[in-house]
Amino acid sequence: MHILVSNDDGIYAPGIAALAAAMLPFGQVTVIAPKENRSAIGHRKTMHKPLRIDSVPFPVEGVRAYATSETPSDSVAVALLGFVKDPIDLVVSGINRGANMGQDLTYSGTVSAAFEAVIWHKPAIAFSLVDHSENADYSAAAAIARQIVALGLYRDLPSLTLLNVNVPALPLEQIKGFKVVRQGLRTYNDTLITRTDPYGRPYYWIGGEAPSGNMTEEGTDLWATHNGYVSLTPIHLDMTNYAMMRQLQGRGIESLKPGEIPSQT
């Protein structure tokens, strides 16, 4: 088996080395990731400038590694579009420094790297550790990643579906188990910070406290990790709200002529 490993924290982040090492028992491992930290870059595709790719030394023996000049999804795309010659069986992303739960998924470069893989019809799993500290310990999350790949769950993922995994910041023996859960509800505690540059012009930062969220609503990723479980959430790239679709159809919009505004609305 040939596993492609990427991330959004950058090729020198400890989480990607832990994940690559955890994948090595399955066979061949190739790492391709942004040279720099691209967290919260979302699913950005580089279209208006060239991409650079450098072969780089990597702290895990037996792993080929490449650093790209741009985004996580660019990294996965170039690999799957032919930069990596050997056929790839599975794409894993992470282990991210910090959780990717609830609405985080729309910001996440870690999850976007996995989405890029499913766009190109490769099974993909995103791994995140619920610990944003500099000295986070990735060993338990790496053991969990190895276990999840060994279980072969990725073989059952339908098209355009990735598996999103969040691991609580606990030693392996203190993790209670696994919960298959939906996305929970995040709360962002962002504030707009306005400062003045040396030339008297205002500039802005989006700052504030770390995101929180609803940890008590049972059956969500936030709830599971808060209670010491690994969360597993299948995520679909189809963002359609089907219930709302039926409601809109019920409003009769499909029978209107273009430009027609009914008298009673």
Looking at the Cβ atoms of 209 and 217, the one nearer to Mn ion is 209
Minimum CB–partner distance for residue 143 and Mn ion (Å): 20
Looking at the Cβ atoms of 6 and 183, the one nearer to Mn ion is 6
Minimum CB–partner distance for residue 112 and Mn ion (Å): 11
Q: Does 112 sit near Mn ion (CB under 5 A)?
A: no
Looking at the Cβ atoms of 39 and 75, the one nearer to Mn ion is 39
Asked if 111 and 100 count as a contact pair (C-beta separation under 8 A), the reply is: yes
Contact region for Mn ion (CB under 5 A) — 37-45, 157-165, 171-179, 219-227? Answer: 37-45
Q: Look up residue 252 and give its two tokens.
A: 């009769």
End-to-end CA distance of the chain: 59
Q: Contacts with Mn ion in 121-150 (CB under 5 A)?
A: none
Contact residue for Mn ion among 3, 6, 9, 184 (CB under 5 A): 9
Minimum CB–partner distance for residue 9 and Mn ion (Å): 4
CA distances from 229 to 105, 161, 163, 206, 219 (A): 19, 22, 16, 31, 11
Contact residue for Mn ion among 39, 164, 183, 231 (CB under 5 A): 39
Binding flags for Mn ion, 79-108, as an x/- string (CB under 5 A):
-----------------x------------
Q: Look up residue 23 and give its two tokens.
A: 């994948």
Helix (H) or strand (E) holding 76: helix 72-78
Residue with tokens 């709200």: 241
Asked if 77 and 116 count as a contact pair (C-beta separation under 8 A), the reply is: yes
For residue 247, give every residue at least 6 positions away whose Cβ sits within 8 Å of its Cβ, in sequence order, or none.
none
Looking at the Cβ atoms of 106 and 216, the one nearer to Mn ion is 106
Tell me the C-alpha distance between 218 and 225, whole Å: 11
Minimum CB–partner distance for residue 98 and Mn ion (Å): 6
Q: Does 8 sit near Mn ion (CB under 5 A)?
A: yes
Looking at the Cβ atoms of 133 and 216, the one nearer to Mn ion is 133
Q: Contacts with Mn ion in 176-215 (CB under 5 A)?
A: none
Q: Does 166 sit near Mn ion (CB under 5 A)?
A: no
Looking at the Cβ atoms of 62 and 208, the one nearer to Mn ion is 208
Tell me the C-alpha distance between 118 and 99, whole Å: 21
- Tell whether omega for the bond before 144 is within 30 degrees of 0, i.e. cis: no
Residue with tokens 């609803």: 214
Minimum CB–partner distance for residue 34 and Mn ion (Å): 10
Beta bridge partners of 92: 5, 125
Tell me which residue of 229, 218, 189 sits closest to 206, measured CA to CA.
Answer: 189
Residue 150 DSSP code: H
Binding flags for Mn ion, 47-76, as an x/- string (CB under 5 A):
------------------------------
Residues that bind Mn ion (CB under 5 A): 8-9, 39, 96
